[in-house]
Amino acid sequence: MTAQDTAARLEGVGHRLTAPRRAVLEAILAAPALFTVEDICAAAPGVGRATVFRTMKLLQEIDLVCRVPLEDGSVRYQFSQGDHHHHLVCSACGSIKEFIDPELDARILEDALTAGFHLDGHSLELYGRCAACDR
């Protein structure tokens, strides 16, 4: 993902790639695969904490970054592959793999409708051991 791609995505939803947003994006690009908001705050010291949080929220809303709750209750972030997806989280090494399952999503929507519930969205994390750690 480049700054130009991000600028196009932001403009497509009515936002600009301002200097603080660019600094946050550059910090994200330089961050490890999984990062915290604190990591980004430290890597972009010229950007206010509130701006980092607002930018992260905006990047999540346009599916450039996804929030990954971990089994221990902490939260990490990663670049998103786009589209709605779920996560397989390895409890041993911490790796995270995205997966897409339209049938599962349809079943979740069906269950919500059956219960008379208007579904605005959902997230799903599955915890276990990846193939490398399960050997």
Residue carrying structure tokens 């196009």: 8
Q: Two tokens at 77?
A: 């972030």
* 3-class state of residue 48 by DSSP: coil
CATH superfamily of 83-135: Ferric-uptake regulator, C-terminal dimerisarion domain (3.30.1490.190)
User: Residue 134 — very low, low, confident or very high, per pLDDT cuts 50/70/90?
Assistant: confident
8 A C-beta contact, residue 55 and residue 24:
yes
The model's pLDDT over 30-49, given as tens digits with 9 standing for 90+, comes to: 888 889 999 999 999 999 99
8 A C-beta contact, residue 25 and residue 17:
yes
The mean per-residue pLDDT over the stretch 99-128 comes to 93
CATH code: domain 1-82 is 1.10.10.10
Mean pLDDT estimate for the chain: 89
The mean per-residue pLDDT over the stretch 4-8 comes to 76
Rounded to two decimals, what is the model's pTM? 0.76
Provide the CA 64 distance to its chain's centre, in angstroms.
7
The model's pLDDT over 70-104, given as tens digits with 9 standing for 90+, comes to: 888 899 998 886 678 899 999 998 888 889 999 99
| CA 93/CA 33 separation, integer angstroms | 13
